[in-house]
Amino acid sequence: MRGLDGKAVVITGAAGGFGSALARRFGEEGCAVGLMDMNADGVAALAEELSGAGVTAHSYVTDITDYEAVVAAVADFHGKAGSVDVLVNNAGFDQFSIFLESEPALWDKIISINLKGAINLHHACLKIMAEQKSGRVINIASDAGRVGSTGEGVYSACKGGLIAFSKTMAREMARSGVLVNCVAPGPADTALFHNFIGDDEAGQKVRVSLERAIPLRRIAQPDDLPGIVAFLASEDASYITGQVISVSGGLTMAG
Ligand SMILES: NC(=O)c1ccc[n+]([C@@H]2O[C@H](COP(=O)([O-])OP(=O)(O)OC[C@H]3O[C@@H](n4cnc5c(N)ncnc54)[C@H](O)[C@@H]3O)[C@@H](O)[C@H]2O)c1
């Protein structure tokens, strides 16, 4: 990808399925990566793997719902890398729940991670990007936020909210040279999806019926995501902002 070599990239949820694939791709593109996750062992192992491959990688055991912790981690990465060029808001959490059977404690958890966490990261990184007069934000939303999804009511609200927030940030930050876009995955083979459908017989049936419904006839793999994210962070995407792109094998074809 053009213009990525030497960029400093913050990735949240870096220890997860999509997050680690994204971190490896940005490392391959010659970027320095700031890896943020609550999973201390996972993020340390990834940083070690990437450092061993010659990538500049800093890891942060940070809960993205904690604003002060996010600001401190971003400031540390900024100090070490010298800039914050790209933010990938990827951390997320989901749990199957029919809305009328769910409780406020679960809503609070889903909202604080999927929406408030991403807002915290925007606040910390956009200030730096505005001073730099350049930056890219790629928010990992979900097709649930575009078309809805049974069992994911509050999660869908968060992802729809993240899409709306991204469009507002795209407008507010355009004159500062900061571009903000969303990528909306469909079902993907990661821990989040396995927790959501369950690994029992019923979960397998859900998986098979999804594979039948997806035009490309398979669930996404983590490596299906980094290409579009790297593109949106690159010089080739310098006239694209406020957009949402689905990576769902054609399951959804939102206009
Ligand atoms: N897997 C899917 O089917 C699917 C579909 C659509 C969208 N997504 C989105 O993709 C993104 C990545 O999810 P994934 O599928 O790789 O799941 P995953 O569970 O493999 O990874 C999520 C990562 O986020 C981290 N995380 C969770 N809460 C955190 C917090 N408070 N602070 C810091 N880190 C935290 C977890 O430790 C984990 O490493 C999420 O935003 C998710 O909503 C996933």
Could you give the 3-state DSSP secondary structure of residue 20? helix
The closest-lying atom of ligand 1 relative to the alpha carbon of residue 64 is 32
Residues 212-224: tens digit of each pLDDT = 999 999 999 999 9
CATH of the domain at 124: 3.40.50.720
Residues 7-56: tens digit of each pLDDT = 999 999 999 999 999 999 999 999 999 999 999 999 999 999 999 999 99
Residue 93 domain flag:
yes
Residue 204 domain flag:
no
Quote the ligand 1 centre to 175 CA distance (angstroms). 31
Residue 59: in which H helix or E strand, if any? strand 57-61
Residue 209 domain flag:
no
Residues 53-68: tens digit of each pLDDT = 999 999 999 999 999 9
Q: What phi, psi does 9 have (nearest 5°)? A: -125, 125
Residues 6+ apart with CB under 8 A from 250: 214, 215, 216
Is residue 22 within 8 Å of residue 11, measured between CB atoms?
Answer: yes
* Any ligand 1 atom below 6 A from CB of 117: yes
Residue 120 domain flag:
yes
Spatial CA neighbour of 119 closest among 86, 91, 95:
91
Predicted structure pTM score: 0.98
Quote the ligand 1 centre to 232 CA distance (angstroms). 20
Residue 60 falls in the annotated catalytic set:
no
Our count of domains for the chain comes to 1
pLDDT at position 22 is 98
- Domain extent, residue 128, equals 8-185+223-245
Is residue 50 within 8 Å of residue 33, measured between CB atoms?
Answer: yes
